[in-house]
Structure 1
Amino acid sequence: MLKQRVLTAIVLLAILLPALFYNTPIPFTAVALILIAAGAWEWGRLNAYGQAASLLLAGVCVALCALSWYGGLLEKPLPMLWAVAGAAWVLAGAWLLRAGVKGWPGIPKAVRLTGGVLALWLAWLAVAQARVMGINFLLSVLLLVWVADIFAYFAGKALGGRFSKGKLAPSISPGKSWEGVWGGMVGVLALSISWVAWDAASAGTVSAGTGILNGQSLYARLLAQHGMLVMLIAVLFLAAMSVVGDLVESLIKRSVGVKDSSGLLPGHGGVLDRVDALLPVLPLALMLATV
């Protein structure tokens, strides 16, 4: 299992890193589109559709993304769209977690399919816009989610159950603890403060677009627009929503009785298993960066 995970990670990095650092956003946007299409196929399978119907769902998602690309949405400010998407994620996430595993089958299948495709489309549009805004901005969002996950894992392993009486969501994801969530919060606070300090030490070269990490980071934008306190609150909010994204996918998988969204990524499960925490964070980051 470990060997598979390592090999899959190496292959993914070999594809993603050259695309990410290419001098135009096109290769990364295209790779992201392929991954989102795979996620849409998985979404069809999670909703008990067969191969043909799931492929059709992936095609619909690709068409929606392609129309957005062709229509020039990647370069256009979309504050209203991100505000609506962000509010929808907060409200839907809260409702789903409150309803729990038993609540998922009661949602009409048409609503589930539509909501999933829209969530995947919004995530693709957000990650594509983030790349257009600059590598620095995109990496600052991606690393926020990854750092929250890594710190949560190690904090949960080391401290889980020592300070809180119960698990975070025992009926959805028994392995997650409140200590893990707090550890993730500490991680993103350290990341954001360190990134802002690094931006300042670089004497403006990053924000001026002269370095390889061109563009302002999410943290620099929030700091410049709203100040340090709001920036710190915002990154804590994003870290919390990354947990919501993770729990929502866990809820769905537990409801349908599967461990992974698919076996597309050997040792890692499926695409949705890798991007679940990013699905709410990407549009919310765009919302925060454009208000």
Structure 2
Amino acid sequence: MPSDAPTDGPAGESDPAVAQKQSRAGRNLPAAIGVGLALGATVLASLFLLKDLFVLVVVLALGVGLWELSRGLRTAGIRVPFIPVVTGGTLMLVGGFYGGMETAAVAMALTVIGTLVWRLSDGANGFVRDSSAGIFSLAYLHLMGVFVLLMLVEDDGPLRIVAFIVVTICSDTGGYIAGVLLGRHPMAPSISPKKSWEGFGGSLLFGVVAGVLLVVLALDGSWWVGVVLGVAAVVMATLGDLSESLIKRDLGIKDMGDLLPGHGGLMDRLDSLIAVAPVAWLILYYLVPVA
């Protein structure tokens, strides 16, 4: 998801012709807004038409995210066992929605074993490296996605998903606006040079306001739960964004892909959401009764 400003590549360089079309924060803002609206419309349509359609959207999104992550890791000579991971990850998501956490846990355990077995045929060279990358990718993407679908299972699941997504987006939007207008003090210059403490303050403001409004108005919960959700979402979204930035910096790439104009790859939009998902499920499951 968008941060205060995207991370520059290792060399901090960009094409001058492209830079002229970008906003002060380094993105093509009209393209980014258009793509964001299209993604939002797809999510809302699938959520409120039929829950099963949203399950399909999550499966496809995380499948593409896995492909992008695998391609990025390959630049460092790491070969993710893609077929067993994407197959097992899909079973985890579907199992989590239709069978609950126990089914997802069994699917994950079998996928870990399947990933190790699949990699056996390529010999000992790089076995630990590649198998570990596959298991990491499975946990980083599909395990986090299970919590999204566990929110969806509830009778008011679509509204819980909307609250989780909107609070995360508001956190990123607040950070983007405050970072561009006020950003002066870098938060983690060695990881994401353009992410600032001022941007983090903007994220907190937008995230908490969105959390309170959505929990109270959409989920009939208490206002203080909205505060907890907003603060937790901001912290986790920031950590998720920084973590993906560090992965890209370690691999020497600027974006995970170029699928989405103005955004980069789909993984560049999922990084905050997948980090927020388990905490959002925990807060909403225990503190907000099903409406």
Common fold by TM > 0.5: yes
Alignment-derived partner of residue 156 in structure 1: 179
Other structure's SS at 1:47 match: helix
| 2:268 aligned to which of 270, 273, 282 | 273
When structure 1 is superposed on structure 2, of 233-242 and 174-183 the one drifting more is: 233-242
> What is the CA-CA distance between 1:64 and the residue it aligns to?
1.9
Counterparts of 1:103-252 in structure 2, within 5 Å, are: 108=129, 110-133=131-154, 134-161=157-184, 166-199=185-218, 216=219, 220=221, 223=222, 228-229=223-224, 231-252=226-247
Alignment-derived partner of residue 97 in structure 2: 74
Please give the alpha-carbon distance, in whole angstroms, between the structure 2 residues aligned to 1:184 and 1:14.
23
> What is the CA-CA distance between 1:30 and the residue it aligns to?
0.5
Report if aligned partners of 1:65, 1:125 keep a CA contact under 8 Å in 2. no
Report if aligned partners of 1:37, 1:61 keep a CA contact under 8 Å in 2. no
Identity %: 29
> What is the CA-CA distance between 1:273 and the residue it aligns to?
0.2
Alignment-derived partner of residue 48 in structure 2: 21
Letter in 1 for 2:251: V
Report if aligned partners of 2:212, 2:224 keep a CA contact under 8 Å in 1. no
Other structure's SS at 1:265 match: coil
> What is the CA-CA distance between 1:187 and the residue it aligns to?
1.0
> What is the CA-CA distance between 1:270 and the residue it aligns to?
0.6
Other structure's SS at 2:97 match: coil
Please give the alpha-carbon distance, in whole angstroms, between the structure 2 residues aligned to 1:234 and 1:3.
30
Alignment-derived partner of residue 89 in structure 2: 65
**Distance 1:47-1:69 versus aligned 2 partners, 3 A rule:** closer
Please give the alpha-carbon distance, in whole angstroms, between the structure 1 residues aligned to 2:86 and 2:101.
20
Q: Where in structure 1 are there 5+ consecutive unaligned residues? A: 83-106, 200-215
> What is the CA-CA distance between 1:111 and the residue it aligns to?
2.9
Please give the alpha-carbon distance, in whole angstroms, between the structure 1 residues aligned to 2:203 and 2:75.
35
TM-score normalized by the length of structure 2 = 0.70
Please give the alpha-carbon distance, in whole angstroms, between the structure 1 residues aligned to 2:31 and 2:186.
30
Report if aligned partners of 2:255, 2:265 keep a CA contact under 8 Å in 1. yes
Letter in 1 for 2:52: I
| 1:30 aligned to which of 56, 61, 69 | 56
TM-score normalized by the length of structure 1 = 0.70
> What is the CA-CA distance between 1:115 and the residue it aligns to?
1.3
Please give the alpha-carbon distance, in whole angstroms, between the structure 1 residues aligned to 2:272 and 2:47.
20
Please give the alpha-carbon distance, in whole angstroms, between the structure 2 residues aligned to 1:25 and 1:11.
19
Report if aligned partners of 1:39, 1:272 keep a CA contact under 8 Å in 2. yes
